[in-house]
């Protein structure tokens, strides 16, 4: 385990807002030299058995994964769960409830876009959805790019889908406490995803780390496709300061959209405890 270097513990399939199947992701990960892999679809575990089987077919070790949407201090925070039982009833129910508001939110997003002259966005986004329970902003972004409103999905988020923009609808997700307790209750480990991406003040980030730890959270992502190399160093120091283990994952969504491919990130800084060292007993 400790000899594993190329772990990629964060990516998305068609079961959430990625464009590849779990099998195609496994093949791509293996081709890129990934030794330990996890599929972490948003608020879903529907792809877990397929991902684990595909990992095994390609000779990779596998950890169960998900990325749970949480509301903390008025901001959406993502908590990655690793190494839990994918068939746990409390996890299924908790994630089902977390997905629950997405349909109505999508209708409201579409209404907001219609007010600025973009019509049919709900139906349009649905054409890009692989899982009807998981309509995401990403699917709207793909529709708006297809319709020529923007050149890429980043531009759609900037102009239409972030706070204050016409397609943004505030939403209340799971609580931090619940998300961590679902993962831990099913034998897994909770990780704060891409901590540098939240628009928190230093005090708010401190509160997030302290509360997360108090609920039993054990790790943060340090090397992720959503961090810059300077942020790897900044959050490596914070992992040590708060005594968190460190995770590594590309957050790969799609060959055409993601700038960081599976398994092609920098290695974790050597001074950190890799999260997989704490999950040896949960490998599949």
Footprint on this chain of ligand AMP (rule: CB under 6 A): 17, 42, 69, 136-138, 153-154, 157, 253
Structure tokens, 125: 């986004």
CB 32 within 8 A of CB 225: no
- Give, rounded to a whole angstrom, the gap between the first and last alpha carbons of the chain: 13
Least distance from C-beta 271 to Mn ion, angstroms?
25
Residue 43 binds Mn ion, judged by CB under 5 A:
no
Residue 154 site contact among ligand AMP, Mn ion, none (CB < 5 to 8 Å, cut-off depends on kind): ligand AMP
Strand, helix or coil at 184? helix
Chain residues 223-282 in contact with Mn ion, contact rule CB under 5 A = 251
Least distance from C-beta 199 to ligand AMP, angstroms?
12
Element (H, E) at 232: helix 229-242
Residue 69 site contact among ligand AMP, Mn ion, none (CB < 5 to 8 Å, cut-off depends on kind): ligand AMP
Cα angle for residues 48, 53, 58 (degrees, 5° grid): 125
Q: Which is nearer to ligand AMP, 13 or 136 (CB)?
A: 136
Q: Which is nearer to ligand AMP, 237 or 257 (CB)?
A: 257
Per CB under 5 A, the list member of 13, 47, 51, 78 interacting with Mn ion is 78
Using CA atoms of 230, 235, 241, 246 in order, give the dihedral in degrees to the nearest 10. Answer: -130
Per CB under 5 A, the list member of 17, 41, 43, 221 interacting with Mn ion is 17
Least distance from C-beta 157 to ligand AMP, angstroms?
4
Strand, helix or coil at 70? strand
Least distance from C-beta 158 to ligand AMP, angstroms?
7
Least distance from C-beta 10 to Mn ion, angstroms?
6
Rounded CA separation 229/209 (Å): 21
Strand, helix or coil at 158? helix
């Amino acid at each position: 385990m400790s000899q594993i270097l190329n772990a990629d513990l964060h990516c998305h399939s068609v079961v959430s807002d990625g464009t590849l199947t779990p099998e195609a992701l496994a093949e791509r990960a293996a081709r890129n030299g990934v030794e330990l892999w996890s599929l972490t679809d948003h608020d879903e575990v529907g792809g877990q058995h397929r991902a684990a089987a595909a990992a095994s077919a390609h000779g990779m070790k596998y950890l169960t994964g998900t990325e749970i949407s949480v509301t903390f201090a008025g901001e959406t925070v993502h908590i990655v769960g690793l190494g839990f039982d994918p068939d746990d009833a409390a996890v299924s129910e908790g994630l089902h409830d977390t997905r629950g508001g997405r349909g109505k939110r999508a209708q409201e997003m579409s209404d907001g876009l219609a007010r600025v002259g973009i019509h049919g966005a709900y139906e349009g986004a649905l054409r890009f959805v692989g899982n009807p329970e998981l309509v995401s902003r990403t699917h709207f972004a793909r529709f708006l790019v297809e319709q020529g409103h923007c050149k890429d999905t980043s531009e759609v988020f900037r102009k239409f889908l972030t706070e204050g923009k016409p397609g943004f609808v505030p939403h209340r997700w799971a609580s931090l406490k619940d998300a961590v307790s679902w993962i831990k209750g099913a034998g897994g480990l909770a990780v704060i995803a891409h901590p540098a991406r939240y628009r928190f003040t230093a005090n708010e980030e401190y509160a997030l780390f302290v509360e997360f730890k108090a609920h039993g959270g054990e790790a943060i992502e340090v090397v992720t496709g959503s961090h810059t190399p300077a942020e790897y160093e900044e959050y490596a120091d914070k992992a040590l300061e708060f005594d968190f283990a460190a995770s590594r994952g590309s957050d790969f969504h799609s060959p055409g959209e993601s700038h960081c491919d599976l398994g092609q990130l920098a290695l974790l800084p050597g001074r950190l405890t890799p999260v997989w060292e704490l999950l040896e007993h949960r490998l599949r």
